[in-house]
Chains A and B, each alone.
Chain A
Amino acid sequence: MDLTCMNRFSCRLALTVSLMLTAMTAWADALPAPTGDIILSVDGKISRSNHDNSADFDLAMLDALPQSHYQTTHPWSETPHDYSGVLLRDLLSSLGATGDTVTAKALNDYQADIPVADAQNYDILLATHVDGEVMDVRHKGPVWVMYPLDQHPELKKAATYSVMVWHLRQLSVN
């Protein structure tokens, strides 16, 4: 059976299907499936995902997003360090997130709510590198929610420290 062109109707159907496939491929290109270990998953009120309404990221995917960095001190270090990674607001907008808060859950089961307004007002980093080095679990990696404390002294308070989640594994937008 000639599958290429059985009749005009079938041709049209084939075209439609192929267009849909192309569109889906284009979607997949925008948020590819992770190839390495998944280090961060984002779910909840997002409009783009790559797995079961969840957007999974490996380190390479996070590194591929626009990177920012700044130096700051915090209560868990005596000296300032340079932190880099994707800004929380950039990640959220790239996923079409629409919520008010983001619940950050850690590998050690710690969790805290980050106000989305904070992300709009401040450069909150999902830090993956410290002083240029990839952060591993031993050094609060793989992802650490970092606030620009030195740049905004008003942030130096317990409420901020409690949402600076290390060992970040999952963000739920709600």
Chain B
Amino acid sequence: MKRIRLLFLYLLAAVFLTASVFSMVNHFRTARLVSNHIQYSAWSLAQLELELQKFYTNIALYGANAIDHNQLMFSYDLLWNRLNVFLVGKENRTLRARFNAEIKIRNLYNTLQDNEQRITDLKAGDKAQQQLLTQQFYPYVQQVRELVMLNFTGKESTKMYEGVLESQKHLAWLLAGLFAVGLTLIITLLRQARRFNRLAHQDPLTGLANRGLFNDSLEASCTNSRQPDSHFALCLIKLNHFKEINHYLGYRQGDELLQKVAQRLREHVRRQDLVARLDGDNFAVILNNLQNDSEALDLARYFRQSLVFDFFIKGRATQIDTSVGVSIFPLHGLQPAELLQAASLALYQAKSAGSTTRVELFRAEMAEHQTRQTTLLLDLKRQLQFCDATSELQLHYLPLYRAADRQLTGIEALLRWHHPHYDAINPIEIFELAENHGLGMALGNWLFERLEYDYHHSEVRWPDDIKVALNLSISMFNPALPSWINQVLQRHVLRPRQLVLELNEATLTQDLQRSTGILKALQDQGIRVALDNFGSGVSSLTTLKALAIDILKLDRSLVQQLSQHQRQQQFVDSIIALCHRLQIQVVAEGVESEEDARCLQAMRCDEIQGFLHSLPLPTSELAPYLQQTSLPAIRTENNPSS
């Protein structure tokens, strides 16, 4: 297409040049035609003079018996015709109009006609008649001669000739101007076309090839590398934490960083390689003409090394790091789409915590991981559509006991998925999958629906006021959460004061001010909020200070083997004491031994949960535990067992 357009432009240029040359030639031909026209006129007038001369001479010759009467008459007729030609028609219009020629020649014509009888009757020896005729025609011989001189040798004729020359010169300048303008136009057009062509293939920020050119080049590399021993590699490059850097530095600095990365990339690849910016912080390099497959990894590691640097901005150094995923033609695919997919999976792996070098070559198991993700996503979508006894996706319930008397006070609903192919799926993975594919809200809905379902299908009634703790997906923790939960609870058997929403520290501390608002709105409805897994992450006291949470859940890492470590005991004891001062209830997670339980009891921990008393249970096995509770059973009309 590009070649055709260029060819068209060159063709246009050629046509323009040809047309210009043609016009020039045509102009000179026209000029010649004009002079020819003058020639015709000259011929016409010269013939007239010649035939007048012949006739005039013939009168004398006839008088001297040198010619016969027929010859005289013949020259008379020829002159007659010639005068007629001069006086009538377009050919001699110009001549007629100049120097009174028309009047002079018409007079001659009239004289000729008037003397027809005299000439017809002229006898060879009639000197008187002959002299009369000579006298009559002689002035015309003079006049015609004069006309010839005036027209073709006089000042006027020179003026005319000069006029033609002058106009020719003007026209030549005009054409030359036209030619120059046209040429400039064409050059401009070609330059513009080249510029647009470049722009169409260039990323404006970094000057690298853009996605369009990259796609074309990849396609071309695939097509051109059909020989058995030709290899090339596709590298996909992504900056680590660019989003955060961009957010922190601002977009202008972010752009500067991208330019820097582009420049370093360009400097660290070979001449035959193509560097492109696909979008955002996604770059790509096509390593052409590889000797062998291992060369690809070496080259990728080499240029990646150049992309690990300190970026100085606002007087601060920011560590820049990059991940690279590599796929090789023809090893990992023959089509651009296959290579892109492979490199993209390798990049995913390179970005993951497991990668030490941050440069990963595609491996088959990466595809398997991708397949697993895709399958799980499709299945999750289907599972979220309904909930019944046969659902793969279920809620298991972990009982919660009062530490003091070991009475059941609540249950924590935990997400369980027994996949027919992949077996048990980690709930964290399920939440991530939902989060990453916009299914957070759907999962939230499902959780409440399932709670409702389990409640109605429980063999025993759920005690009144039993606490039900629920883990929500991160994306659901937004300002719309309180009103959404309010709506859900309107049609739900659970009452707000029964509901505990468990959120981890990372979710809550993303935006403290926003979190405060959300917490307050939830608490206004009577819903309690628990800070989950305290002790596993940052476990900042600031969080405790800033956010008015209702419950703090001690992470299992703080609880396990508590009885054996005094320092740990002092630490946990202090946290519990602090929480109580702040009116925060404390729940210990992962309690596995009676010693630990007693320890917690002694520290006046409010509630415990863990394998000591129960594993998370499906609804079908929950009944005996519910019956042990001291809480009164909830009575509702919907309860089948009521």
Contacts and interface: CB of A to CB of B under 8 A. Distances in A.
Are both chains from one complex?
yes
Nearest to A136: B77
Interface of B is mostly: helix
Interface stretch (A22-30, A45-53, A71-79): A71-79
A75 B78 contact: no
Contacts of B80: 137-138
A108 B89 contact: no
A138 B84 contact: yes
A76 B33 CA distance: 19
A139 B40 contact: no
Contacts of B8: none
Contacts of A75: 89-91
Contact of B77 (A137, A158, A161): A137
A78 B88 contact: yes
A140 B82 CA distance: 9
Contact of A76 (B51, B74, B91): B91
Interface in A109-147: 110, 136-140
A158 B33 contact: yes
Given A75-B90, A75-B91, A137-B74, A158 B81 contact: no
B47 interface: yes
B88 A108 contact: no
A158 B36 contact: yes
A74 to B, nearest CB: 7
B23 to A, nearest CB: 20
Interface in B328-347: none
A167 interface: yes
Interface in B576-616: none
A57 interface: no
Interface string B54-96: 0000000000000000000010011011001100111100000
A167 B90 contact: no
Contacts of B47: 108, 110
Given A138-B84, A158-B33, A77 B89 contact: yes
Max chain B C-beta neighbours (<10 A), residue from A78, A108, A110: A108
A166 interface: yes
Interface string B24-49: 00000000010011001000000100
A23 B163 CA distance: 68
A78 B87 CA distance: 10
Max chain B C-beta neighbours (<10 A), residue from A77, A137, A139, A158: A137
B33 A107 contact: no
B88 A107 contact: no
A139 B81 contact: yes
B89 A74 contact: yes
Contacts of A161: 40, 91
Contacts of A74: 89
Nearest to A74: B89
A138 B81 contact: yes
Nearest to B74: A137
Contacts of A136: 77
A77 B36 CA distance: 20
Max chain A C-beta neighbours (<10 A), residue from B37, B77, B81, B90: B81
A167 B81 contact: yes
B50 to A, nearest CB: 9
Interface in A71-99: 74-78
Contacts of B78: 107-108, 137, 167
A39 to B, nearest CB: 13
A37 to B, nearest CB: 11
Contacts of A77: 88-89
Contacts of A76: 85, 88-89, 91
A76 B77 CA distance: 17
Given A107-B74, A138-B81, A166-B81, A158 B88 contact: no
Counting from the closest, the 8 A-B pairs by CB-CB distance are A137-B77, A76-B89, A75-B91, A138-B80, A75-B90, A138-B77, A75-B89, A138-B81
6 contacts: A74-B89, A108-B78, A136-B77, A137-B77, A137-B80, A139-B84
